[in-house]
Every structure is written in structure tokens, then in C-alpha cells.
Amino acid sequence: MSKPEIESEWKNFRYRGIKFDKLIEISMDELVSLFPARERRSITRGFTPEQIRFLQKIRRGKKEGKKVIKTHLRNMIVLPEMIGLTIAVYNGKEFIPVRITPEMLGKRLGEFAPTTKSVKHGEPGLKATRSSMFTAIK
């Protein structure tokens, strides 16, 4: 996605009072000061080698026009350079495609790819186990 499309789509978005145009241009130090404490501490400690490789992969993917970038890094914090991309995040079983929007800024990729499904129980006797076959008839 080209930069003019992103700006027109999210031109009114603000993150902690800063417009989207400025967020892309500000330095990493200024950006980190805007993040919540846990993310701020994580980034100030430095990126792991895997996270650095992932960021390089994102930059290469943007140049080549890659549609989806796969990753296992659920703990990677969403940065402004990721906005507009689709990242497939591994949930332990499969890769879940996540379209990165400005509202996701400062959150972790794992928050958008749930690892468990919600449990939907059936009625007793209906597709249930052998023991629930003997429920009382009213």
C-alpha cells in the first residue's frame, strides 16, 4: 500500500495526541516515550536478534510489494512502519492473517491472533458423551 493511500485512509488518526503523519516521521526515542510502560521497557532493552530479522523482513517486503509476511513473534510490538501491512501471526496451530491498523500501535502481535477458541457446549444428549444420555426427562 502506498503512502498516500495510508494517509487518506487514516489522516484523522491520533496516537496520544500526535497525528498519523508525524508518527511515521518521529524518531524511535520519541515514539518509545509515547508507549505504555511495559512496551517502553521492552524496546529500551533492545530488540532480540529474531525481532531485528523480522523488521528487516518487513522492510524488504515493503520494497518488493509482498502481500503477507509470516512470523512466530507474538511478542513483537506494533511499530508505525508495520501499519498497512498484513502479517500472518502463528497461534500454535496455524498462521492467522492480521491487517495492521493505526489503532494497533503499541500493542503486541499476539493480541490479535487468539490461541484458543471459545467453547460452545451442546445440550445434554445432543452430540454429547455417553454419560449425559441418561438425563432426567421432565
- Mean predicted confidence (pLDDT) in 101-130: 80
Question: C-alpha grid cell for residue 137?
Answer: 426427562
Q: Residue for cell digits 524511535?
A: 28
Q: Which residue has the higher pLDDT, 126 or 102?
A: 102
Instruction: List CB contacts of 53: < 8 A, sequence separation 6 or more.
Output: none
- Mean predicted confidence (pLDDT) in 121-126: 63
Q: How many CB atoms within 10 Å of residue 58?
A: 20
Of 55-64, 77-86, 114-123, the poorest mean pLDDT is in 114-123
Query: Quick one: pLDDT at residue 128?
Result: 57
The H or E element containing residue 3 is helix 3-9
CATH tag for 3-114 (out of 1.10.3720.10, 3.50.50.60, 3.40.50.300, 3.30.860.10): 3.30.860.10
Whether 112 has a pLDDT exceeding 90, the answer reads: yes
Query: Quick one: pLDDT at residue 1?
Result: 47
Average pLDDT across the chain, whole number:
84
Whether 99 has a pLDDT exceeding 70, the answer reads: yes
- Residues 82 and 76 sit within 8 Å (Cβ to Cβ): no
pLDDT tens digits for range 16-65: 888 888 888 888 888 888 888 999 899 999 999 999 999 999 999 888 88
Render 44-65 in DSSP notation, one character per residue: HH---HHHHHHHHHHHHHHHHT
- Residues 27 and 38 sit within 8 Å (Cβ to Cβ): no
Whether 87 has a pLDDT exceeding 90, the answer reads: yes
The amino acid sitting at 110 is G
